[in-house]
Amino acid sequence: MTRAEMDALGWDSCDVILVTGDAYIDHPSFGMALVGRLLEAQGYRVGIISQPDWHSAEPFRALGKPNLYWGITAGNMDSMVNRYTADRKIRSDDAYTPNGEPNKRPDRAVTVYAQRVREAYPGVPVVIGSIEASLRRIAHYDYWSDKVRRSVLFESKADLLIFGNAERALVDVTRRIAAGESIRDIRDIRGTAFLVQPGWLPDAEWSVHNSTRVDVPGRIDAQPNPYAMAQEDVKACATENAQPEPVLKPIVIMTREQRQQAAREKALKTVVRLPGFETVSTDPVMYAHASRVFHLESNPGNARALVQNHGDRDVWLNAPPLPLAMDEMDNVYDLPYARNPHPSYGKAHIPAWEMIRYSVNIMRGCFGGCTFCSITEHEGRIIQSRSEPSILREIELIRDTTKNFAGTITDLGGPTANMYRLACKDKAIEESCRRLSCVYPTICSNLGTDHSKLIQLYRKARAIPGVKKILIGSGLRYDLAVRSPEYVKELVTHHVGGLLKIAPEHTEEGTLSKMMKPGIGAYDEFKRLFDKYSLEAGKKQYLIPYFIAAHPGSTDEDMLNLALWLKKNNFKLDQVQTFTPTPMAMATTMYHTRKNPLKKVTEESEVVETARSGKMRKAHKAFLRYHHLENWPILREALVKMGRGDLIGNGERHLVPAWHPSEDNGTALAGDRKRQGGMPAPQPPSIAAVKRQPQRAPAAGARAAAASPERARPSILATIKAKPKGPRK
C-alpha cells in the first residue's frame, strides 16, 4: 500500500495496481484482498490504493506507474447504495471505512477513480470490475439521478469491464497483457464487456439475433388445404430439362442430446442485439423488454453474447463466466490471507470487518432470483461451494490466529445460508434451463433439496476443539428448509443464538409475485417447525422477519394488511427496509417502467403500480413501524384517505391510537416515547376531528383516563432484551 512497503519487498514497480473505495482488509470476504492474493499467487506484484482522495490525481501516483494495468473498483458495495439511503439522503457512516467515517469515497466511484488514474498515468490500460461496474454494464435506470444512464464503460472510459465472479477472467487478462497482447485485442474472454464499432463481429461465422423490438402480430397466411386437387402444369412436364433437378435433402432424426448440443454450438456464435441506449432511455416498454431479454441470457450453460448500441459505438458483452469448480473455490479461499485490516489503520474500528471477522463464507451464488436483489445479476444462479475440508481448515485458522476469538463462529454462510451444495439433479437440464428462479413459483422438481451435506458440515464444525458455538447469521431460504425437517432441527437445536433472521419480505400475494418470493404459508410452516424444535431443545428462541416497504406492486392496502399481520403476531420492528431501485434489478425495471419483465412485455402487458413519491414511500414505511409515535399522524392521514378510519382508536383492534398524551400541544414526553403504546380514552374524537385537529389537547377527564393505560402486550424483542439468552450477533 506504500512505497516503503514496496522497498521492503525489493520492488521497483507494481505489475497491477488496484484502486478500491473500501479500507484494505486482507480477508477473502473483501474483493480487493481476494483479487490481490489471487494475482500474487500467479506471480504478479500487486499494489493497492485504498480510499484515495479523488480531488486530484496525485494520490493515484503513490505507488508509481503499473507495468500492466489499473484495476478499479468501488468496493464491496455500490458507491451510491453505500453513500445514500433509500430516501436519497447521505448516510452518516460507512461500514467499510475506519471508524465508520462517511464521505471517504466519491459518488460513482468507479467512474471517478478511472478518470483520475488516466490523469495520473495516461496510456496505461484500465480494467473496471466489482458489483458497481457489474450492475452498470449496459444502459440502466439510475435511481439517484432518476434517469437511464449509459453503460459505465462510456462514463469511465475503461478499456475492459469484468463482470460477475472475476477469477478466471482476471487471470486470463493479466497473463495475456503480460505476454505483450494489447488489451484492445482481448475480446474472447467470458465475463468481459468492451466497446466496439457498430456491426463488429468476432468472425464471419457469427450471426445476430435481433431483439430490438417487442413482438407484434404479423401477417397470417392461409393454410393450404391438403385435400385440394392442384391443377397439373402440363408445360412444366413438357420436357425433361424444363425444370431443374430437385435437391434431395435427407431427413436427419436427432436425439434430444444432439439437438441440445447443436443449439449450444449455435448459441456460442450468436449475439443478441438489445434495444439501444437512445431507445431504452425514452421508451419504458423497450427498457422493460431489454431487461427481460438480458435476464433470460444469464445461464452460463446457454447464454448468448449481448450487444447494445450507444450512438457511434456498441457495448459488447460476452457470455457470463462459468462457475468455479469446488477445487477452484478451495484454491481461492485457501490463499495466505492475513485476515486482518492493514496495520496502517492501527486500532481503528472498521464495522464491516467486525461483522465478518469470525465468519466463514462457504458458498456463492443464489438461485432464488428475488427481483429486488443484485446477487443473481452479479454472482449468478448456480451455487459454487467450497469443500468441507477447506471450510474446516478456515475455522481452525480463525481459532488459532484471529485475535480475541472467544470460541464462537458467527456465521457459516454466504448469500443464502442453506443453499450449500444444492444443484440441479441433471447437469444437462441445468445447462439448458432458462427459468429466472429455481424456487418460484414453485420449487423445481429437478432441484436437489437434500440438506444432508450441510448438516454434516455443521456437526463437524462444532466438533472442532476450541469451538464453542457455530451460529448461522446469513439469510435463510425457509421454503427450502421445510423440505428437510432434519436440517431445521439441527439448525434450531445447535446454531441459533436466540434470534434467527429470515426474510418473508411481505405477506400479500400481489406483492410477493413481483418479488418472486413464496407465499406467507411457507413462513408459517417454517415457524411451526422452528417453535417445535426450540421447545424440544428447551430454548426460548424467536424468528426476526424482515420486510420491504414500497416494493413495486405493493399497494396501500397491501401495506395495511402487512401492518395488521405484524400487529396480530406482536411484531414491533425497529429496523425496516424501504425498496431501493438498484441498477439492472428486475424490480427496478418495474419501478421505472411500470411494466412486469417477469412476463412477455408489450404495450398492453400488465401495469405494475408502485410507490414513487416521497410521501407515499414514507407512508408505506410507516405501516411497518405502526407502533412508533412519530408515524401515527402519517398513518391516520393514510387510513382516513383509504376509508379505513375504523382502525384509528384506542382499543386492541385498532392499528393506531386516536390520541396519545405524548402529542399534547405537539410535545412529546420522554416516558411516553419509550412506551409507545396505544392509550384508551373514554370518548375518542371522531375521524373528522382527528383530521382537523391532530394535535388537540384532551379534556381533563380524558387525561385522567389516559393515566391508567390498558395492558398492552409486550414486544417480543422487548422480552428478549429483558432476558438475554446466549451470545448475540
Angle at 215 between CA 373 and CA 602, to 5 degrees: 55
Nearest-angstrom CA–CA distance, 123 and 38: 25
Nearest-angstrom CA–CA distance, 322 and 168: 9
Nearest-angstrom CA–CA distance, 469 and 122: 53
Burial class (CB in 10 A: 0-12, 13-18, 19+), 284: middle
Nearest-angstrom CA–CA distance, 594 and 221: 35
370 is in an annotated binding site: yes
Kindly report the backbone phi and psi dihedral angles of residue 416, in degrees, each rounded to the nearest multiple of 5, phi listed first.
-140, 130
Burial class (CB in 10 A: 0-12, 13-18, 19+), 251: exposed
Torsion of CA 554, 557, 558, 560, to 10 degrees: 130
Q: Are strands 207-210 and 270-274 parallel, antiparallel or unpaired?
A: parallel
Residue 616, C-alpha cell as written in the block: 407515499
237 is in an annotated binding site: no
Listed in sequence order, the residues at least 6 apart from 159 whose beta carbon sits closer than 8 Å to its beta carbon are 69, 125, 126, 127, 183, 184, 194
**118-137 burial, b if ≥16 CB within 10 A, otherwise e?**
bebbeebbbbbbbbbbbbbb
3-state secondary structure of 617: helix
438 is in an annotated binding site: no
The DSSP annotation for 474-525 comes to S-B-HHHHTT-HHHHHHHHHHS--SEEEEEEE-S-HHHHHHHT---HHHHHH
Nearest-angstrom CA–CA distance, 47 and 35: 11
Nearest-angstrom CA–CA distance, 539 and 494: 10
C-alpha distances in angstroms, 658 versus 564, 629, 631, 662? 17, 11, 12, 12
Residue 441: how many other CB atoms lie within 10 Å: 11
The DSSP annotation for 624-664 comes to HTTTSGGGHHHHHHHHHHTT-GGGBSSSTT-SB-S--GGGG
**Which DSSP letter does residue 666 get?**
G
**Annotated binding-site positions:** 366, 370, 373
**Annotated binding-site positions for [4Fe-4S] cluster:** 366, 370, 373
